[in-house]
Structure 1
């Protein structure tokens, strides 16, 4: 079996508040899942349209204490294991480490249910951070729908947001992974940088307002900006994909990065929430 996927995130709340957000059903329904039932130390279940294979609960609690929990999660007929560990960094900040078994890079790009866990957890933890900071959440992935569209309001002018979406250095900083961008029609949009050898293509561009990138089988991502009273509404849409096999993993990954885009613009002393992101098959990313 492959090594577990590890995500580490700094949360702006003390351990007790983070533990409550991880275990209180009312809070979990805000940032994680549509339906939640928790009775510690025996039960930890979540399901619904925002959960992979969410037709019914498939979790089995293995352990819970004041510094984390661990549960088995049956997906694709395989019993995976998910763990949360909490460590106080300071009186007001907590480092959460998530480990998820049975995820590797091949699974992540295969379109399997297990493969979506990598970006499902990235988006979920980004929403946990937003919840703890009192910020609006990003759209959760609806695993029952083929519609992929959302909005995000950023307290910054549109020209600044546009620059951060189209400048390679800024995009790499807030997304937490190298991105090479040629901001013109026909230009490359390369996750991993231009040296990676793989690039999507910019297929539409209205400078300062709209950009569309064609990723091939997973469709076209379009970002559109509209400014009002010094704030920018970013609308993001995925289109042109096989609606019988929606690219849930790619969508969740793309949306999860936008949480840092908002923080990048709105925090004077911005630091990414991600302390490290270990992606199987790739070098770990470290802030």
Structure 2
């Protein structure tokens, strides 16, 4: 078994508020799952179409106190362990650390097990928790029952600025939290990890200021399309051209979670990402298409 995956994030809320969001079933149904039932200290369950293998609840509560929540989660026949640890950083700031066992980077790359989606599933979930705590609109969640991979969000910034941040290597690397080398022309490279060592996908369609499409091979084509909406920018994001019997849910979840920081990158005056240095063997936080 690989070392546990760790995802630390800084949340703009006191520990008690974050703990309530993690343990109140009504709040869990907002930011995490379609269905949730909690009866502490005995029961902690969530399931539904936004949960991997979410046909029924597969969690078993192991421990809960004021700062820690730990549960077993059966995935692909293996009982994994998930833990949330909360640490006060200030009166209105909490460092949340998610620790997840049985995440394997090879499974993420090959799609051989649903456990391969855990890194990006939790990245997206924590991003939506942060949005929920800040009172911002949530990102689209992954529907693990559907092959229709599309979503929209509004960004309070001009179209030209948003387009530039999607196609400029330096800006994209900043908000995505991982080096990206981008050649913004048809036939150009879109290299996760940078031009020297990264996986180079290919730009296959581009309308300056409005649209760009990137071909990732087996996991399909990502298309970002921009439109003006009441002084803001509506970003429509679509994944297409993949095997619909094996949708790239891991890559899709990671791409969606990256949009959280894209929005904050434009809307916050002194933007800083919520993500703190992680300890994920073979993987950095916010790696999305690289896990396809």
Q: TM-score range by the shorter chain?
A: over 0.9
| Post-superposition offset of 1:211 | 0.2
| Cα deviation code 1:256-276 (max 9, x no counterpart) | 000000000000010000012
TM-score by length of 2: 0.96
Secondary structure of 1:280 counterpart: coil
Equivalent residue, structure 2, for 1:186: 187
Q: Give the aligned partner of residue 168 of structure 2.
A: 167
Deviation at 1:27, TM superposition (A): 0.2
- Pairing 1:254–2:255 present: yes
Report deviation, 1:282: 4.0
Residues in 1 aligned to 2:284 and 2:237: alpha-carbon distance in whole angstroms = 28
After superposition, the C-alpha distances for 1:145-204 in whole angstroms (9 at most, x for unaligned) are: 000000010000000000100000000000000000000000000001111142000000
Structure-1 separation of matches of 2:224 and 2:136: 21
CA distance in 2, matches of 1:115, 1:154: 30
Provide the residue aligned with 1:228 in structure 2. 229
Give, in angstroms, the shift of residue 109 of structure 1.
1.3
TM-score, scaled to structure 1: 0.97
Q: Which runs of no fewer than 5 residues in structure 2 stay unpaired?
A: 287-292
Native 8 Å contact 2:123 2:285 kept in 1: no
> Tell me, what secondary structure is at the counterpart of 1:226?
strand
- 8 A contact 1:35–1:48 mirrored in 2: yes
Query: Does the C-alpha gap of structure 1 residues 73 and 152 become closer, same or farther in structure 2, counting only changes over 3 Å?
Result: same
- Does residue 177 (structure 1) correspond to residue 178 (structure 2)? The answer is yes
CA displacement, residues 195-254 of structure 1 (integer Å, 9 cap, x when unaligned): 114200000000000000000000000000001332100000000000000000000001
> Residue 223 of structure 1: SS of its match in structure 2?
strand
Partner of 2:242: 241
Match of 2:87 in 1: 87
- 3-state SS of 2:21 partner: helix
SS in 2 for 1:20: helix
SS in 1 for 2:131: helix
Q: Deviations over 1:113-157 (max 9, x none)?
A: 111111000000000000001011011000000000000100000
Give, in whole Å, the separation in 1 of the partners of 2:258 and 2:279: 15
* RMSD (CA atoms): 1.1
Correspondences of 1:64-213 after superposition (within 5 Å): 64-111=64-111, 112-213=113-214
Give the total of aligned pairs.
Answer: 285
1:182 and 1:162 mapped to 2: Cα distance?
14
Residue in structure 1 matched with residue 290 of structure 2 by the alignment = none
Secondary structure of 2:172 counterpart: helix
Distance in 1 between residues matched to 2:16 and 2:118, nearest whole Å: 26
Q: d(CA) in 1 for partners of 2:197 and 2:123?
A: 22
- Partner SS state of residue 90, structure 2: coil
